[in-house]
Amino acid sequence: MKTVTLTLNPALDKSTAVDRITPEQKLRCSSLQLDAGGGGINVSKGIRKLGGASTAVFPAGGHNGRRLQELLTNAGISTSTFELAGETRENFSVTESATNLQYRFTLPGVEMRTEEAEHCLQLIRELQPDLLVASGSLPPGLPVTYYEQVAAFAKQIGARFVLDTSGPALQAAADEGLYLLKPNLAELSALAGVDKLEMNQVDDAALDIIHQGKCELVVVSLGPQGALLVTRDGFEHIPAPTVRKKSTVGAGDSMVAGMIWALAQGKSPREMAQIGVACGTAATMNPGTELFDPEDVWRLKTWIDTYGERYRITDFD
């Protein structure tokens, strides 16, 4: 399957570490690490780490935009971009070594008009993907319903659309209909129209979303507890191994990357969710803005296959 990722609000991610963060002091940091960032871009990076291929579609502006393209090209990732006036945003994260606490600073993106965003859809149409993955926030200037337009566009070109975003943008797109949704508990609650879901309500809420035609598959992210896979035929808890956490940056994108890679390989929904959980968990083992080590992924996947049954949550009824 040909896979394309869409990132409407890309970023140049910068990360470093310092012993302690103290106000009004000059802080001596470790060497700066640069990474291409943004939800869809991270998904493409994760797919590449697993040995798969995808094309990352995104707007690029100024020096940061060119640097983004260079980083992805050097990583062996295909890109398709159009130039946007202004400078692609930066994100900055600092890890306090003494406590392992991470401080993340996210800058606003370049304002984009709907007509400009249509350039991305034109690029996607030319690529003719089987799987289209949109991940991340919308940039300033685009309406919260824009992902809904992307969902309709995906239907027009015959692509399975997978969306990983939050808030009103997620709800609007779900109304149009998607192939796969990966909400957390708060996002699933919003989609279900309630303030909060108890654990024994999660499977029914996800199944209702499927029956309403909002998607075909739901993988509910449960954080350290793994994920809940829900299809029309039922549900299954996929437990996550316990690991030493160094960072949560990129864990969600890594989970999506694992699931998309698995879909492109023709894996079953169950194995898709297992690989997604393994990738998301593996990402938390790395510092800064790194994603995951493939060796960690397959080791964790083996744990899920071998010991997962013992740690599976069963009290959903």
Enumerate the active-site residues: 253
Alpha helices in 193-243 (DSSP H): 202-211
Distance between CA atoms of 16 and 131, rounded to whole angstroms? 34
The backbone torsions φ and ψ at residue 250, rounded to the nearest 5 degrees and listed phi first, read: 85, 0
Residues in CB range of 265: below 8 A, 6 or more apart? 52
The conformation of residue 184, written as its DSSP 8-state character, comes to B
CB 109 within 8 A of CB 140: yes
Task: Tell me how long the chain is.
Answer: 317
Q: In what order do the strands lie in the sheet with 101-106?
A: 33-37, 11-18, 89-96, 101-106
Q: How far, rounded to the nearest angstrom, does the alpha carbon of residue 97 sit from its chain's CA centroid? A: 26
CA–CA distances in Å: residue 278 to residues 41, 126, 131, 234, 296: 19, 33, 21, 22, 8
Distance between CA atoms of 223 and 122, rounded to whole angstroms? 36
Q: What single letter denotes the amino acid at residue 6?
A: L
- Burial readout 231-246 (b: 16 or more C-beta within 10 A, e: otherwise): beeebbbbbbbeeeeb
Q: For residue 264, what are the β-bridge partners? A: none
The backbone torsions φ and ψ at residue 7, rounded to the nearest 5 degrees and listed phi first, read: -125, 105
CB 163 within 8 A of CB 135: yes
The backbone torsions φ and ψ at residue 77, rounded to the nearest 5 degrees and listed phi first, read: -105, 130
Distance between CA atoms of 147 and 157, rounded to whole angstroms? 15
